[in-house]
Amino acid sequence: MSAWGFLTLAIFLEIAGTLFLKLSNGFEKWHWGTASILFYALCFWALAPALRDLPVGLAYALWAGLGIVGASVLGMVIFGDRLAPMQYGFIALILVGAIGLRLSSSG
């Protein structure tokens, strides 16, 4: 798998880990907390090979930024999370930045 493939997998695993963390209700529901820990561990397992070939700043910015966007969108859809209009705008800026980083990268 390419570095970009590993990075994409790491992003999806991070988002899943974050959603399981929310479902754990502060680790009161241990099975969701355990799933969260597992998915975060798998996330780092996938992120590590991506960092062999991609610049760390680029990979981390995309991993964190797209994780924020994905978790925010799914939080709205699954949990009914609501944000202030300005907050939606700033999350959109994160998405624009992540797309710009990817489009300006070679490979």
Range of the domain at 23: 3-103
Closest CA to 66 of 2, 13, 3: 13
> What is the distance between the alpha carbons of residues 51 and 60, in angstroms, rounded to a whole number?
9
> What is the distance between the alpha carbons of residues 29 and 58, in angstroms, rounded to a whole number?
35
DSSP letter at 29 equals: S
**Number of domains forming the structure of the chain:** 1
> What is the distance between the alpha carbons of residues 6 and 50, in angstroms, rounded to a whole number?
5
The predicted-structure confidence for 33-87, as pLDDT tens digits, reads as follows 999 999 999 999 999 999 999 999 899 999 999 999 999 999 999 999 999 999 9
pTM beyond cutoff 0.95: no
DSSP per-residue letters across 52-86 = HHS-HHHHHHHHHHHHHHHHHHHHHHHH-----HH
The predicted-structure confidence for 4-34, as pLDDT tens digits, reads as follows 999 999 999 999 999 999 999 999 999 999 9
> What is the distance between the alpha carbons of residues 46 and 27, in angstroms, rounded to a whole number?
24
